[in-house]
Amino acid sequence: MPTEFLHGLYDGGAGAGLDDYWKLMGHERLSAGGFLWSLVDEGIVRDDLDGTIDVAGNAAPDGILGPFREKEAGFYTIKDIWSPVQLAEQERFTYRPIPPDARADGNGYTVQAEYSGVLRHVRWRLHPSGWLQLDYRYDLTGEHHLFGVGFDHPESRVTGVTWLGHWPHRVWKNRLCGVATDVWTKQHNDTATGADGWVYPEFKGYHAGVRWASLHTTAGRITMVSEDENLYLRLFTPRFGPTLAIPRRLPEGRPVVPRRHPGRRHQVRRTVRARPQRRPHHGDGRLRSNPVLLVLPVAPPPPRRRRTMRAGPLPTGAAHRCSTSLSRGVRLLPRP
């Protein structure tokens, strides 16, 4: 029975990688299980620091339960993998959320560009319905932890997200168990799991099985729809607490629509070869997207100005003068 064979520090283990270990243990005749570190965050509230939860750097966090017993993502993964009842085949369904007239012929507008780098081709088509269709193609070979395209949007203008997909929690390549498919909504937060913020589920990170998503912004909602149920949606860049085991660098900022995303590295051991789900993805050349459809917020029309014509001296020979108001109508005044 290995002790502390997975470490939950800063969302860096516990549920992430457990499926690989548990399958290996399940095939060993003498295996009797193991111990994860740890169950709960072990910080204390410091009155001398304005109520801050002090976890002594990286010495006291990070359990699968938060300081107020909030269930982190690893909790649901462990519950699923260690459940005594397992389904041999998960139920699946087909969902095609493409608007009926999104591909109709009509007076649409198309802009496309060819590139000479990894990204080879991009085409935007504005349909008469208002949907904006994105098609892209890129060439990528070799091993990579992340495949996908990103969009520029300032995080300061994002307030939340609603989507149809797995979980309200973020996922990693080696932590996909325990999810539930539903329509989820969460507000923006900047939680660094086990370090500060303490708002769960975390807003930033990778989201799996996304059929459609609506990003709430101060300008309105940006809605994305795709036929590809294997797409992931990454919302900005997660923060992590202070630790000697630096997480693999993720692309900064921007929302990303990756076809493949990375696994979470163990915070204590570098055991890539021992954990198949953590290994990089392999690119074999040309990758083409299924259409991604977006609808962008439309700027509201400017408010109607209240216009008033004030009465005043009329030019010589004028018969009347009037005072006109949008709310009072028109009244005629006697000639001076």
CA atoms of 216 and 218, how far apart (whole Å): 7
Q: Which residue has the higher pLDDT, 265 or 8?
A: 8
Burial label, 98 (beta-carbon count in 10 A; 0-12, 13-18, 19+): middle
* Nearest C-alpha neighbor of 111 from the set 145, 134, 89: 134
- Answer whether 198's CB lies under 8 Å from 68's CB: yes
Rounded Cα distance, 273 and 145, in Å: 14
**Between 258 and 112, where is the model more confident?**
112
More confident residue, 22 or 57: 22
Dump pLDDT digits (tens) for 119-158.
888 999 988 888 888 888 888 788 777 777 888 889 999 9
pLDDT of 70 > 70? The answer is yes
Residues 227-237: tens digit of each pLDDT: 787 788 999 98
Q: What percent of the chain has pLDDT over 90?
A: 19
Selection from 275, 263, 234 nearest residue 251 by Cα: 234
pLDDT (0 to 100) of residue 182:
93
Average pLDDT rounded to a whole number, residues 95-101: 48
pLDDT by residue (tens digit) across 195-223?
888 899 999 999 998 989 999 999 999 99
